[in-house]
Amino acid sequence: MLRSSPLVAAVVASGLLACAPPPEPVVPPVTASTTLGPPLEAVGRSSPIDDVLAGVRVVSPTERIVTRHAVDVFLAHMESLLGDVRAEPVTANGKTMGVRLFGVSPRNVAGAVGLENGDQLVGIDGKSLFDQGEGLGELLDRLKRAFGSNEIELDVVHPGPPTKLPIHVNAARG
C-alpha cells in the first residue's frame, strides 16, 4: 500500500498535478484548395513537359537535336504530352493522306520538334502514315518505335512545299 507524504498531498490538493487528458490536436479542414505539398518546381523536380522541352535544341528551323532523356520522358508520358494537340485526318479521293495538326505551340512537344499549327503530318521516316489503313493507335505505336532509334524524320506539309523535319537523338541526359 502506498503512503502519501504531506508534501504530495499538498501538491495534489493545489491542482498542480491534475491529470487531465491532453488537448486534441488542431487539424485544419481539407478543402478543394488544400494542396498536398509544394509544386514540383519548388522542390527541384520538373514536370514531364519541362523535361522534354529542356532536352530539345534547335539546330535550324527544320532540324532538332533531342536528348535521349527527353525522348524517354516523352515516350513515358506520350498521351498526356500530346493531349493538347488535335490531329484531324486529311483525305483525298477517299484515302487518308495524313493528319492535320491543331493546338501546336512552342510550349508543347509538337511545337518543340518544329511542327506548326495547321501542318499536315504525312509520314514518319519516309513511310506514309496510313499505308496499310492504320488507325490512330497504330500511328502512335509507330511513333514510339521511331523514337526508339537515334534518327527520326517527320514528313510534313507546311503551307508550301513538303518538308522533312529531322530529329537527332543523342545520349545526353539533359
* Dist. CA 105–CA 14, nearest whole Å: 75
Closest C-alpha among 166, 162, 164 to residue 97: 162
Q: Band of the pLDDT at 171, cuts 50, 70, 90?
A: confident
Compute how many other C-beta atoms are within 10 angstroms of the C-beta atom of residue 128.
Answer: 15
pLDDT at 33: 37
Q: Is the pLDDT of residue 36 over 50?
A: no
> What is the DSSP-derived secondary structure letter of residue 106?
T
CB 73 within 8 Å of CB 51: yes
Domain topology for 43-170: Pdz3 Domain (2.30.42)
With 0-12 / 13-18 / 19 or more C-beta atoms within 10 angstroms meaning exposed / middle / buried, residue 66 is buried
* Cell numbers at 53, concatenated: 522541352
Q: What angle do CA 171, 109, 140 make, to 5 degrees?
A: 85
* Dist. CA 138–CA 143, nearest whole Å: 9
Reported as a single tens digit per residue, the pLDDT across 53-87 is 999 999 998 899 999 999 999 989 988 888 889 98
Name the least confident of 47-51, 61-65, 88-92, 146-150: 146-150
* Cell numbers at 18, concatenated: 491534475
- pTM for the whole structure: 0.67
pLDDT at 125: 86
Mean pLDDT of the chain: 75
Q: Is the pLDDT of residue 166 over 50?
A: yes
